[in-house]
């Protein structure tokens, strides 16, 4: 990162810590903010993505002792100090470096940096060590090589592709196709990072950030890493109890026991039959929908009339007035 970039950015303010914060304080602040602004928990929010990048950048500098020392030095010089030889209104050359390296300012003893192999690093070596230069004296300071910029793209995949994982091809303006692997379990709106497939740079390529849109499925409904399905059952199956065959994500079917007296909306859990990701395996929830036949033949009508007569004393709305009272 160029020194001017460091002058313009207050990494301590980004993390919400003081300039004398300990390594533990910096680590704690970073973890708290990273959880809050992580792209996985802020799908499609550009502001959160930008905040997360700023937090990560600040932590990468302040959590490294050498980079933090260099950053503090650059910020000190960039906050109004000027290199001048006189005793006017601004700080002199010796004042700036006396403060950085322990000197006593204009009235104190100046630090000495003897050239050669006498045990003390010379002035040029100190500057090169601070700013990553490769020689040429202070005036010949060279900026460290920069990594290429990240790029962004969007794609739409099938529901099956999101469950099993898939590979997509993104076409460049030049006609070249970039293959990007979409991991199994990716969620709608999630961003996938393809490392090294961004813009080129002297210090390496940037990354390609692909926002994934997932098509809806007519049967399986995703809820986080869980799957919900609605299964119709007949009145007799719900009232008497039964066993159903339910399709799953893997393509096979499992047997599900419906307890006698089940109501419409009753939910049955199939553990481990949901979405499988690198971190966990979700569950599948079967929701029963009692189906009322739209047409009845004479035998069915007679049977239901007999059932109605046999259960004439049953009133499912008996406490309705009580529950509806204000």
Write out pLDDT tens, residues 133-158: 444 444 445 668 888 999 999 999 99
Write out pLDDT tens, residues 235-258: 999 999 999 999 999 999 999 999
Closest CA to 226 of 280, 190, 264: 280
- Please say whether the structural domain 151-214 has been given the CATH code 3.40.50.2300: no
Q: Where are the domains of the chain?
A: 3-140, 151-214, 221-310
- Give percent above pLDDT 70 in the chain: 78
Element (H, E) at 67: helix 65-78
pLDDT on residue 5: 67
pTM recorded for the entire structure? 0.54
3-140: CATH architecture: Orthogonal Bundle (1.10)
Report the CATH number of the 221-310 domain: 2.60.260.20
Same fold, 151-214 and 221-310: yes
Average pLDDT, the chain: 81
Residue 20 has φ and ψ, to the nearest 5°, of -105, 20
pLDDT on residue 316: 85
Query: For residue 309, is pLDDT > 80?
Result: yes
Query: For residue 130, is pLDDT > 70?
Result: no
């Amino acid at each position: 990162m160029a020194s001017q970039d460091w002058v313009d950015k207050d990494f301590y303010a980004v993390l919400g810590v003081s300039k004398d914060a300990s390594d533990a304080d910096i680590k704690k602040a970073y973890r708290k903010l990273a959880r809050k602004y992580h792209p996985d928990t802020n799908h499609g929010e550009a502001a959160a993505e930008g905040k997360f990048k700023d937090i990560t950048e600040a932590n990468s500098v302040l959590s490294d002792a050498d980079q933090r020392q260099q950053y503090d030095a650059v910020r000190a010089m960039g906050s109004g100090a000027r290199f001048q030889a006189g005793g006017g209104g601004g700080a002199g050359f010796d004042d700036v470096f006396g403060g950085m390296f322990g000197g006593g300012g204009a009235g104190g003893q100046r630090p000495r940096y003897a050239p050669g192999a006498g045990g003390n690093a010379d002035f040029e070596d100190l500057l090169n060590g601070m700013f990553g230069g490769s020689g040429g004296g202070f005036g010949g300071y060279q900026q460290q090589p920069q990594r290429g910029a990240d790029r962004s793209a969007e794609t739409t995949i099938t529901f099956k592709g999101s469950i099993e994982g898939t590979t997509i091809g993104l076409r460049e303006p030049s006609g070249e196709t970039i293959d990007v692997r979409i991991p199994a379990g990716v969620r709608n709106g999630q961003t996938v990072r393809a490392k090294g497939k961004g813009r080129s740079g002297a210090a390496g390529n940037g990354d390609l950030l692909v926002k994934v849109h997932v098509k809806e499925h007519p049967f399986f409904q995703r809820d986080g890493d869980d799957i919900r399905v609605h299964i119709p059952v007949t009145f007799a199956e719900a009232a008497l109890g039964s066993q159903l065959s339910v399709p799953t994500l893997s393509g096979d079917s499992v047997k599900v026991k419906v307890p006698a007296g089940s109501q419409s909306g009753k939910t049955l859990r199939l553990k481990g039959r949901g979405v499988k990701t690198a971190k966990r395996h979700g569950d599948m929830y079967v929701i029963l929908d009692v189906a009322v036949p739209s047409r009845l033949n004479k035998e069915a009508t007679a049977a239901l009339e007999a059932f109605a007569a046999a259960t004439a004393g049953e009133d499912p709305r008996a406490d309705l007035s009580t529950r509806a009272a204000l």
